[in-house]
Every structure is written in structure tokens, then in C-alpha cells.
């Protein structure tokens, strides 16, 4: 995608905003990339609309290629659509046993994933876990779970021939409660395709077991089919999350995005192999990178982000180098400070300003102060902001009444500005490195 976008943007240089035309051309390429990654068409459409809105009018930063900038916007959008950087943890908030119900088509990986989850909960969370197979039609499936349980040393409800799924569920609940298990994982039967019988059975089990998590296990390699499956299951079952298996073979990630978008459900884990420990917490960033077909997309995006910051810092540094630090610059800095954890935090990071920080604490400068100062600066005329010396007594009175503050507040602001301007000067004597450090802050 990067190469494609580079082509689109080669001719845009210099400053300005990303125009609607540029963005729509870029989005055509993004669209192709998403379709190639096997993202469902309606999801592609929604995403393009969303990303177009974000990108249009975005200011072009000189030192960043517009292509990289758009990739960053698209990448951030994908991460957001995939559920954000922070994975949604498994919910175990229930009177024990917390029941996890695993649903899905046959062969999607339910039994394997049940064991993977059991292992994870036992090993990392020190939970006492029991598994039970509700797959009454295939004795081999029950045996499979029993074997896996033996392998990972997790309890499995003993098999009783001739019971129905509902009967097994009741027995499992009683047994897990009596024996003090924290978690009960119910591995349900699957069909090759969706059918009413299957849905009714799972729904009935869900009604009896009242699971804290009803997880759809889906094979990410089945692409669009998996999306249809997810939709159908979600209509019948109160699903709480997804686990997508065979992520190890899915180089495109499109099904993951589609399923998340269509169901709105968090993807909790990804299966990454046949072994019992091949279960990973879902990582939206990695999947977004796959979708964009860019192995090192994260590095690229980080580079773009740093360059964006750097170019802003450089612009500021240039002004400062000329000894220019007027009240407009102060207002810009105040904005930035608000973003970065307030005045005290910023001041604490600057080298050699401990004294000033103490002074400010003395003068009661806090973050409400930032708001007040912004109000003061915005009540000044352009000329006053550029040349604070213009502010005589009557002008100060006017500004004070405009900002709803006292004249002494104006004086305090001007004093602070003078201090900062002095600091700028002394830092500029200390060399460009210092200056950039300061500007970056």
C-alpha cells in the first residue's frame, strides 16, 4: 500500500492541507488494499468513509511524505476499528464457576481453543479450571477433549454415555460448583454448516448455564464465510467475544476486521498454531499491519509520528532562534502543555528550571491558570500579542475586563512570559540542541 500511495502523492509537495481530491485518490488505493486483504465490502465502504473524513483537510507536514501521513491515518483507523490498542480481557466476574461457552462451526477450533484457554487460565491466572464436552454426536470429540485435558493437566468432566447436551451441562455445573472450580469451559458440538438444530441446542445450553462469556470460535481462513457465521450466531446467542483461530495461516487479517466490524464484538484471542500454548492475546496493531500488507508498518507509523512532532518542534525552534517568543507562541505552548499533562509536568521536564518551578508553585500557577491565561491572551489585539510592551495601564484594564480577570493577573502573565522569553534566549546561547529539546517540549 505504501508504494501505491507514494505514487498518488508524489506530486504533492510543500505545505497546505490534504485536498479532497488527493484523499479520494489515496482512498481508492486503500480500498483495493482492503479488498485484497479479504475485508468484506460493506466494511470496506464504512471504513473508507471514516478514514476519508479523518484525512481530508489534514495539514500536510513538510518533512513527512503525504503517503506516510495517509498510511498513519489509515493505520490508526484500522487499529481503532479492530477495537483499539488495549485488548479486551476475558471476563471472569461471576459466582464460581465462571462459565465460558465455546460456540462455532465444526472444525473451527473450539475443542483445541477450549484447551488452550484452560491452559492459559491455569498457568497465568492460577485458576482451577474444568472442561466439559457437549459434543454428544461424536464420541471421538469427547475423547479428544479428555486427551487434551490429560496433556495439560486440567480436569475434564467424566464422560457418561447417552446423555444430552443439556444433561451434561447440568451435571457439569453441579460438579464444578461442588468441587470448587473457578472456571467451567463448555465445549459445544459444531456442524459443518449452520443449522437450526445446532442453534437451538446451543441457545438452550446458554440459557441453562448463564455463561459470563459466550465466545464464538471462528476460523479466520474462511474469510467471508466466517463473517456470515459470526452474524448468524450473534443473532441467536448473546455472544460476548470472538476468538479467531488459524491466525498463523492468515496473512491478510481481513476476516478479523470484518468480523469485528459486523458483530461489534471484541476479538479476545487469536489461535496461532495447533499446539496447546498457541493462543495469543489479540493485537490490533499487528493485524492492522497485516491488512495494510506492510510488515514493518508499525515502525513506519512510529517514524511518521516522530517526524510529525519533530517538524512542529523545528518550526518552533526556528522562531525561538530568532529570539521570537511572543504571546502567540506562549498561547501555542499553553495548548501543547494542556495536551502533555499540564504546566507542572512540562516544567518538571525542562532542565534547569527547578527554581522557576518553585517560583510558579509559590505564585499558585496551576492548570486552571492555563485556561485563564489563554483567555487573557485571546482578549488581546494582534499587535499586543506580538509586542507585549504595548500593554499600558489602560490597555491592561481593557484586556482584564475582556477576560474577566484582574489587572494583576495580566501582570503575572506578562512576567511569566518575560521569564520564558529570557529562558529562550539563554537556551539559544547554549546551542541548537537545547533549543530543540525545549521546543519539543
CB of 221 to ligand GDP, least distance (A): 9
Q: Please tell me whether residue 111 binds Mg ion under the rule CB under 5 A.
A: yes
Q: What is the per-residue burial (b if ≥16 Cβ within 10 Å, else e) of 261-292? A: bbbebbbbbbbbbeebebbbebbbbbbbbbbb
246 binds, among ligand GDP, Mg ion, none (CB under 5 to 8 A by kind): ligand GDP
Residues 130-189 that bind Mg ion (CB under 5 A): 141
Q: Closest Cα to residue 417, out of 355, 346, 324?
A: 324
User: C-alpha grid cell for residue 351?
Assistant: 532542565
Binding segment (CB under 6 A) for ligand GDP, from list 110-118, 124-132, 256-264, 332-340: 110-118
Q: Please tell me whether residue 136 binds ligand GDP under the rule CB under 6 A.
A: no
Out of 69, 108, 136, 169, the residue judged to bind ligand GDP by CB under 6 A: 108
CA 269, CA 242: separation in Å to the nearest integer? Answer: 7
CA 279, CA 374: separation in Å to the nearest integer? Answer: 51
Note whether 297 and 75 are within 8 A (CB): yes
Q: How many residues bind Mg ion (CB under 5 A)?
A: 3
Q: Please tell me whether residue 112 binds ligand GDP under the rule CB under 6 A.
A: yes
CA 336, CA 231: separation in Å to the nearest integer? Answer: 44
139 versus 348: smaller Cβ distance to ligand GDP: 139
CA 73, CA 17: separation in Å to the nearest integer? Answer: 14
111 versus 263: smaller Cβ distance to ligand GDP: 111
Q: Please tell me whether residue 115 binds Mg ion under the rule CB under 5 A.
A: no
Binding segment (CB under 6 A) for ligand GDP, from list 25-33, 106-114, 200-208, 298-306: 106-114
CB of 276 to ligand GDP, least distance (A): 10
Draw the binding track, 65-104, toward Mg ion (x: CB under 5 A; -: no contact): ----------------------------------------
Q: Please tell me whether residue 225 binds ligand GDP under the rule CB under 6 A.
A: no
DSSP 272-319: -SSSTT-EEE--HHHHHHHHTT-TTHHHHHHHHHHHHHHHHHHHHHHH
Out of 104, 211, 223, 388, the residue judged to bind ligand GDP by CB under 6 A: 104
Element housing 165 (H / E): helix 165-178
Element housing 428 (H / E): helix 407-429
CB of 289 to ligand GDP, least distance (A): 19
Burial of 304 (0-12, 13-18, 19+ CB in 10 A): buried
- List residues binding Mg ion (CB under 5 A): 110-111, 141
- Interface positions with ligand GDP (CB under 6 A): 104, 106-112, 190, 245-246, 248-249, 271-274, 278
Amino acid at each position: 500500500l505504501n508504494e501505491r500511495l507514494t505514487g498518488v502523492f508524489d506530486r504533492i509537495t510543500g505545505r497546505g492541507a490534504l485536498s479532497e481530491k488527493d484523499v479520494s485518490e489515496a482512498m481508492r488505493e486503500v480500498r483495493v488494499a482492503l479488498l485484497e486483504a479479504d475485508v468484506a465490502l460493506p466494511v470496506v465502504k464504512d471504513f473508507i468513509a471514516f478514514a476519508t473524513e479523518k484525512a481530508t483537510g489534514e495539514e500536510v507536514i513538510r518533512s513527512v511524505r503525504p503517503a506516510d501521513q495517509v498510511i498513519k491515518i489509515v493505520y490508526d483507523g484500522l487499529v481503532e476499528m479492530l477495537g483499539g490498542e488495549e485488548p479486551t480481557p476475558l471476563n471472569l466476574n461471576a459466582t464460581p464457576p465462571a462459565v465460558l461457552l465455546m460456540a462455532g462451526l465444526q472444525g473451527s477450533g473450539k475443542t483445541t481453543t477450549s484447551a488452550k484457554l484452560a491452559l492459559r487460565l491455569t498457568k497465568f491466572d492460577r485458576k482451577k479450571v474444568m472442561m466439559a464436552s457437549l459434543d454428544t454426536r461424536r464420541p471421538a470429540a469427547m475423547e479428544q477433549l479428555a486427551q487434551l485435558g490429560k496433556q495439560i493437566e486440567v480436569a475434564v468432566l467424566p464422560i457418561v454415555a447417552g446423555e444430552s447436551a443439556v444433561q451434561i451441562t447440568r451435571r457439569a455445573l453441579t460438579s464444578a460448583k461442588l468441587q470448587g472450580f473457578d472456571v467451567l469451559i463448555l465445549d459445544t458440538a459444531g456442524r459443518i454448516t449452520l443449522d437450526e438444530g445446532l442453534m437451538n441446542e446451543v441457545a438452550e445450553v446458554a440459557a441453562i448455564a448463564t455463561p459470563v462469556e459466550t465466545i464464538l470460535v471462528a476460523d479466520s481462513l474462511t474469510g467471508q464465510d466466517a463473517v456470515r457465521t459470526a452474524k448468524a450466531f450473534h443473532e441467536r446467542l448473546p455472544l460476548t467475544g470472538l476468538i479467531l483461530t488459524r491466525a498463523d495461516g492468515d496473512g491478510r487479517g481481513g476476516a478479523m476486521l470484518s468480523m469485528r466490524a459486523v458483530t461489534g464484538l471484541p476479538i479476545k484471542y487469536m489461535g496461532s498454531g495447533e499446539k496447546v500454548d498457541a493462543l495469543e492475546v489479540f493485537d490490533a496493531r499487528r493485524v492492522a499491519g497485516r491488512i495494510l500488507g506492510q510488515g514493518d508498518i508499525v515502525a513506519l507509523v512510529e517514524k511518521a509520528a516522530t517526524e510529525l512532532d519533530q517538524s512542529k518542534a523545528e518550526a518552533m525552534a526556528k522562531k525561538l532562534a530568532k529570539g521570537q517568543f511572543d504571546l502567540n507562541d506562549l498561547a501555542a505552548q499553553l495548548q501543547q502543555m494542556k495536551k502533555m499533562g499540564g504546566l507542572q509536568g512540562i516544567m518538571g521536564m525542562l532542565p534547569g528550571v527547578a527554581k522557576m518551578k518553585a517560583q510558579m508553585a509559590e505564585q499558585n500557577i496551576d492548570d486552571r491558570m492555563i485556561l485563564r491565561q489563554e483567555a487573557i491572551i485571546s482578549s488581546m489585539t494582534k499587535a499586543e500579542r506580538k509586542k507585549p510592551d504595548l500593554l499600558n495601564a489602560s490597555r491592561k484594564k481593557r484586556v482584564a475586563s475582556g477576560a474577566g480577570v484582574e489587572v494583576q493577573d495580566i501582570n503575572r502573565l506578562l512576567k511569566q512570559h518575560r521569564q520564558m522569553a529570557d529562558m529562550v534566549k539563554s537556551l539559544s546561547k547554549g546551542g541548537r540542541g537545547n533549543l530543540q529539546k525545549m521546543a519539543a517540549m
